[in-house]
Amino acid sequence: MDIEQFFELLLKEMENNEKIRRYHRFFKKPDYFNMRKAYFCQRLQYLIDQIDSHDVKIWDCGCGYGTTALFLAMNGYKVHGTTIGEHYYNGILDRMEFWKNYGDCNLLTVSCESLFDAPQPPCSYDAIIIQDTLHHLEPLQAALDILHNALTPDGKLIVLEANGNNLIHRLILFILRRNNKVIEIYDEYLKKKVLYGNENYRGLSTWNEELRKSNLVIDPDVQYIKFFFPNMYNGYNSAKVMELERFLAEKSKFIREYFYFGLNFIARRDPSVEPTRIMEDAKA
């Protein structure tokens, strides 16, 4: 199932699933529809390009209502999703009634659990997807250590995030939350107070520094997406707009670092660390 087919089916699902309709917000502002579709589809394309074969073991960490995991299942990939909150968990189970008509939903398993309270077994996944989740994980270093340990020695951490260096976004967030980037909240599911990244987005250089502390190294081929305002997507062919965005991102480091909204990258275990050391650290 290609991305366009999946997207059209997603829209069809939303006709009778108000919960998913609100979650993805494609129809919240009609003028934003084409821009949000382009952003959504580019992220799926980036993701599927990183999955090497149907034999890889995939973990979608912080899968929400499971849209990305469902896309992978519809394309024949076995994936395990974890989420916090019974509303997400039950929402995924409800969605399978729709998606089972278009693919094998048995390829998707889901559990409702905390990353910190139930870390995945050591060296158990070839690909870990972190989509719009990494900026919420606190304490961050403990989370990165868990993710590192769950990766196989040749595995990939696939990160899809908002670009924390985006000047417009930084201004909006400062107005909304000032510098309260990490807060303490009461988690209704866990029944306890936890630390929470309050839309604590970071730029690429900062992510690189944090990941290196857990022996994770970012690949040089990083993707920046979504530069233009919505009217650009409405006035021109979306494919040409995305092509122009790719061109500008390649030409200007300043523009891509401070004016692109989306940031996609791959992180791997540090190749300078011996495999035996990796396995020992994972088991510790």
CA atoms within a 13 Å half-sphere pointing along the CA-CB vector of 113: 14
CATH topology of domain 1-112+124-132: Rossmann fold (3.40.50)
Query: What does the alpha-carbon distance between residue 41 and residue 43 come to, in Å, rounded to a whole number?
Result: 5
Mean pLDDT, the chain, integer: 93
What is the pLDDT averaged over residues 25-42? Answer: 95
Query: What does the alpha-carbon distance between residue 210 and residue 130 come to, in Å, rounded to a whole number?
Result: 15
* Residue range 155-190, pLDDT digits in tens: 999 999 999 999 999 999 999 999 899 999 988 878
* Residue range 37-49, pLDDT digits in tens: 999 999 999 999 9
Query: What does the alpha-carbon distance between residue 133 and residue 160 come to, in Å, rounded to a whole number?
Result: 8
* Residue range 120-159, pLDDT digits in tens: 999 999 999 999 999 999 999 999 999 999 999 999 999 9
Whether 79 and 51 have beta carbons less than 8 Å apart is answered as no
